[in-house]
Structure 1
């Protein structure tokens, strides 16, 4: 409990008053003893002031607050904030039991917590029940400003994946759930938002992926570790579309994906899911590389949370055995997670530690043998990876007065032992990463002003022949973002300064952002934003040296950093009628890039007359632009026995090279490399490996014990690829890409469906079919997508709060 602060803001109790009265008594004795009689006037005035001040303190009322804060299910709410009404500081935090116990001179306090409605609390209330603020029209997000805000007030485009959609679709990896959102694709594990990226196998990501605000990118390649991200215990996913480097750094050039996990509960909660199924046979017989045998997959997830000796505990387990649908492309893994959290309510302090361990084997598939053997690996060669990963993430959060402090840290170790059958081509790699971020937030609710500032340090070291030995990368940054609200208008602005060092090479650069949101009517919001992005080359892009069959991946340690900017105008309109809630969102956007880094084919090693190596190298491709529009509708209806929710989204883009004839490199044969000379289709100067149009939709319908769901994914044709895929060297050794283009395999519509039944509050089942029509389609050149798959999931839940 706080001590004496000011005469107008004192946390008073009888002991404090007695102590102050005693002090005053001794001060009066000293005045009468040591002050001379000629200063009698001053002495009398001073004594009167001290007596009045002490009596005012003695006369203050003391109000006690003691009890618990729970939700409507009776679960304790941890970290709920008691604030002094009309003042800008947090007074008390509830502990792991949701308990509070303090005294103050205020008869009422303000209570708030993310995801719940703010309410006024009176002294003497022992049980406080907070109401959910989870409606579609008032959804809460934290990713834009790293603090709690309402989605409708965002100055940028954001999407939310609800925990219901994640659990209802039973993903084996989080990238499956991410790929269901409009405007978002995942190609070879690389996320792509609004055509901001093409195809860059195993290279750095333009989208920052976070788990609870902490980056989940590998230290060497800078790519998302999807299999390392837990699918159990997920609270939801938030996606920012557009450059967000001011708050989230280099990898947020194209956007941010923040995966939020569930926090510990006071009452035990346990959930176990077991699923199994198979990949169906492709329609074309030539694609059945195992004959009539269907590849299977099985998955077990378990999640538990509870409170033990005042410490909140979360634990998760995942065991997957996925034979995959392509030759050599499989995944067998075990992953465990453990989270510990302790709340010290009287000190406004939270400390915790999250840790994850993963071990397993997996295979990878890069290119097909040919069009008729689309699921057979090139030369039938396979690569086996023995993977082990460990992360340890200590954190601490504390509040003092008007300031919120947090320190998030991570130590990540990744070890891949690779067996590709070629001892001369060792692809094994080891890397470790140390991350730390200190963040300070100032909140002044009365003045409707918020400030967020931070310091970031990231150091990564890799040791691998895959990356030409030992490489070291460092990144240091500081940032500041301000937010001010005037009635209907919200304005944000921020800046970040980045410093990078890769071995002996270093550079630094500032980036800026600004945004406006105007409340035109009760549920009508106009927004505009400008953001800059900046990405330094990853270790992999600079130093990778490997091969797959006759195709070689070459390093390029002369890569320059890429920069970009995003301008957007949007409107969000909420509607509510007859129990329905709808949220309509429309946006137009433009993204401009300088020195964009892209995979480019060439003959990069040549010894006359016939000895050469051809393959891909990451190059700076000059100036590019992506323009487009996006339309989304979210809907929700909840009645006694009926729950309907879903979304429909369409993204229309036009990407182009602004310098199509600029010479960006020269290969070993003297061939000049440009956009025009390496593109299979230069009409409109569209960028490579990007469809123009995407459409996504999903609906979930719950009636009593039954659950139904369906999803749709549409992608227009990917018209431009590397010219070498359609004519020349690759076309000769990997035939069939032009044939797949002619058959428009990259243009497709997939329909997924699911049906579930709850036998009781504890036991439920879910039957899922993906790609119902068994559509043959291509994700990119020389890589077919998954055929129809069928799975059955059984879930057992034990929830002591119900």
Structure 2
């Protein structure tokens, strides 16, 4: 009996000992961006197929038995990390730096979800432009680069996505501009200040097409343009450029007014470095533009600095700042469509002096569960001095709280937050009255991974808007001087990875836009036209939907994708500036023109290939739209104010200031130290416009004499010599004469030389 008990005890002892020897060990670590050293949320960590997901600040932990493994770490937008790894007899910590991926299907974007996800996995259409194209095309104002993206048009500094809006005379926008995820529209007028974008320090540019009000609020009704600036790198970097542009004679020499050619000189510099726990980015820009428009010019300088300090692995604080000072002169319309096309109508000529600055404080905190809490804000001050009694100043204070967490073992990502924005505007065009606006919002969005192939998106937003003015303004009264409105909007989407490289998506999202101060209260004169306020202007609502397929392609040396999309949008109470009669006098007023319906499709191809030993990047796309008024009968505002299409005798139901067809392409190659590229843009004719504008300054006559659309062809070539790059660019090679909007002729052929240096 004793021997039997001893034997049992020995068996138990050996079993316990074996268990102790083979006990799992704890592996912890962090996954970071190799350049910015930021932790990456949602990276996949695998030890021979067994794994976990990194938490909000990039940290991960798991238990692994001792032995030899293949450690694999992957993350959207980055090269996959694979390395043999041995788990020994003690706990271990690993520090992994992932390199950004050059694969076009795996580019990461934050715009559609508040966190990184690949463009292929998004339920909506997103285009991403990397920083190299900014430098290679000598972009000194980002709106010119946006014009290369399929489905996007820039008309008189206004962004239009898939025909969702037309030319709006500089007031109101259905496309929201973000700089580092913070709204950057001039709040009282709802228009972008493109000069505030630091082209010398852009990391990438993301364009989301379709209703995005759920995450970003009122102005994102038709889409989003998100400019992500560059960050400090582990090694100090200094980049600088200078460029000179010479504008040549127009095709019709009768339109040439100058004896000395118009020119533009631009220069920019950026310095990035890490100093211990401090990240520093400082940059500056200067431009002097002696315009091809008679007596017009633009001179500006811009200074910017971004600071970020890591208090600990869990807490970081930062502040971004920008100061922009400019002076210039321009005009609203030309003198006439003949010899005065590059000269301005005397009544529309204006001089201006502008000062703008903002600073963006922010703090990011990760709790014990590694959920992310982020508070970001912006104080934005604008002062515009104008000689036409149109001077204005405004203060915009923006504050946002974001909460991001991962649930259900990483299958669900939740982003939610609170938003507040307060605007104070003092403008001569608002009757010299002080106006106030308040916007409050709350949002939540869930991205759920139903399976390895299917992901679902759903979101809600509550928005509350208030405008405050004097109780009596422009001879009319507003009870207590206050108008207010609240709205709940939603979005849903699905992405299905049908097979390797094939992604099908569908989405539907509501849009909402509250009238800006400029649309509701503006009273001024432009080119002899009276602009009237409309205190009864109502908000517009609508929805945008799409179904698309993104097909990755790899054959031979070609690697890329083709994307095809069908889209459909409807708006109710759409706001447009339209010609109206006031006591027998014609003028313009922002009015609700009723419902609209926009259908269309888009096909784009983006990829990389090799021709012999020459790598080639390709971006091209075609967009077709058919935008109509839901009610277009005689006597309606839409029918009464619209022009008759060129060559036709009856009015056509086609929304104003839009082109039916658009085709764009950009092809860039590199052979050893030589880079070269060619780009083309075709837009068909603007079908309809305001009849009142058509009869002014020979605009209608010019359209009849120059029917059809336009084709613009550009080229570029560059050569790298050590740390230097010299580029030579030609825009509008064919010297085509065209207008993007009525009454304003675009630039003739021009040539540029640019020098870049990186230290």
TM-score range, shorter-chain basis?
0.7 to 0.9
Structure 1 residue 442, shift from structure 2 partner: 1.8
Deviation at 1:482, TM superposition (A): 1.2
Distance 1:180 1:531, change over 3 A: same
Distance change in 2, residues 1:388/1:737 (3 Å) = same
Counterpart of 1:162 (choices 104, 109, 130) is 130
CA contact (8 A) 2:31 2:54 kept: no
Match of 2:715 in 1: 753
Q: CA 1:415–1:225 in 2, change beyond 3 Å: closer, same or farther?
A: same
How far residue 627 of structure 1 moved from its aligned partner, in angstroms, is 0.6
CA offset digits 1:365-400 (Å, max 9, x no partner): 211111111111112752111110010001112222
Q: Residue 361 of structure 1 is aligned with which of 323, 327, 339?
A: 327
| DSSP 3-state at the match of 1:278 | strand
Q: Does 1:179 align with 2:147?
A: yes
Determine the structure 2 residue equivalent to 1:243.
Answer: 211
For residues 206-285 of structure 1, what are the structure 2 equivalents within 5 Å? 206-285=174-253
The Cα of 1:124 is off from its aligned counterpart by 5.9
Q: Report SS of the residue matched to 2:633.
A: coil
Partner of 2:666: 698
Greater Rg by CA: 1
Report the secondary structure of 1:660's partner residue.
Answer: coil
2: CA distance, partners of 1:92 / 1:181: 33
Query: Do structure 1's residue 517 and structure 2's residue 495 form an aligned pair?
Result: yes
State yes or no: 1:78 paired with 2:45.
Answer: no
User: Does structure 1 residue 455 correspond to structure 2 residue 422?
Assistant: no
Q: Which of 149, 167, 170 does residue 202 from structure 1 map onto? A: 170
Q: Deviations over 1:213-259 (max 9, x none)?
A: 11110121011110111101111111111111111110111111111
Deviations 1:628-673 (CA, angstroms, capped at 9, x unpaired): 0100011113699633112110000111111113756xxxxxxxx4
Aligned with residue 551 of structure 1, among 505, 518, 529: 529
> Which deviates more from structure 2 when the two are superposed, residues 544-553 or residues 80-89?
80-89
1:563 pairs with one of 541, 557, 568: 541
Which residue of the other structure, out of 376, 389, 394, is the alignment partner of 1:431?
394
Q: 1:690 to 1:753 in 2, by over 3 A?
A: same
Displacement of 1:543 in angstroms is 1.1
Contact 2:189 2:516 in 1 (8 A): yes
The TM-score, its normalising length taken from structure 2, stands at 0.88
SS at match of 2:195: helix
* Structure 1 match to 2:514: 536
2:454 match? 489
RMSD: 2.8
* CA deviation profile, 1:669-695 (whole Å, cap 9, x unmatched): xxxx44245433465401111110101
Deviation for aligned residue 1:562: 0.6
TM-aligned CA deviation for residue 403 of structure 1: 1.8
Quote how far apart the aligned CAs of 1:146 are: 1.2
Alpha carbons of structure 1 residues 460 and 114: separation in structure 2 relative to 1, 3 Å: farther
CA 518–59 in structure 1, closer or farther in 2 if over 3 Å, else same: closer
Residue of 300, 304, 314 corresponding to 1:337: 304
- SS, match of residue 325 in structure 1: coil
- Where structure 1 has 5 or more consecutive residues not aligned to the other structure, the ranges are 1-55, 95-99, 421-425, 607-611, 665-672
Closer, same or farther: CA 532–245 of 1 in aligned 2, 3 Å:
same
Structure 2 alignment gaps of length 5 or more: 1-18, 86-90, 469-481
Q: In structure 2, the residue corresponding to 1:90 is in which secondary structure?
A: coil
Task: Tell me whether 632-641 or 229-238 shows the greater mean CA deviation.
Answer: 632-641
- Point out the more displaced range, 646-655 or 160-169: 160-169
CA contact (8 A) 1:592 1:626 kept: yes
Which residue of 621, 634, 647 corresponds with 2:606?
634
CA distance, structure 2, for counterparts of residue 674 and residue 705 of structure 1: 56
Question: What is the correspondence of 1:335-734 to structure 2 with a 5 Å cutoff?
Answer: 335-346=302-313, 348-372=314-338, 373-379=340-346, 382-400=349-367, 401-420=369-388, 426-444=389-407, 446=409, 448-468=411-431, 469-487=433-451, 488-503=453-468, 504-604=482-582, 606=584, 612=585, 614-637=586-609, 642-661=614-633, 673-681=637-645, 683-726=651-694, 731=695, 734=696
Task: Note if contact 2:347-2:527 (Cα within 8 Å) is conserved in structure 1.
Answer: no
TM-fit CA distance, 1:316? 0.9
TM-score normalized by the length of structure 1: 0.83
Aligned counterparts of 1:326 and 1:557: Cα–Cα separation in 2:
36
Q: 1:380 to 1:470 in 2, by over 3 A?
A: closer
**8 Å CA contact retained: 1:141, 1:238:** yes
Distance in 2 separating the partners of 1:415 and 1:571: 46
Q: Distance in 2 between matches of 1:143 and 1:317?
A: 26
Query: Which residue of structure 1 lines up, in the alignment, with residue 478 of structure 2?
Result: none
Alignment correspondent of 1:609: none
**SS of the residue aligned with 1:270?**
strand
The question of whether the paired residues in 2 share the 8 Å contact of 1:494 and 1:513 is answered with: yes
User: For 1:685, what is the secondary structure of its paired residue?
Assistant: coil
Question: 2: CA distance between counterparts of 1:93 and 1:767?
Answer: 43
1:70/1:531 CA distance change after superposition, 3 Å: closer
Provide the rounded CA distance (Å) in 2 between the counterparts of 1:89 and 1:792. Answer: 46
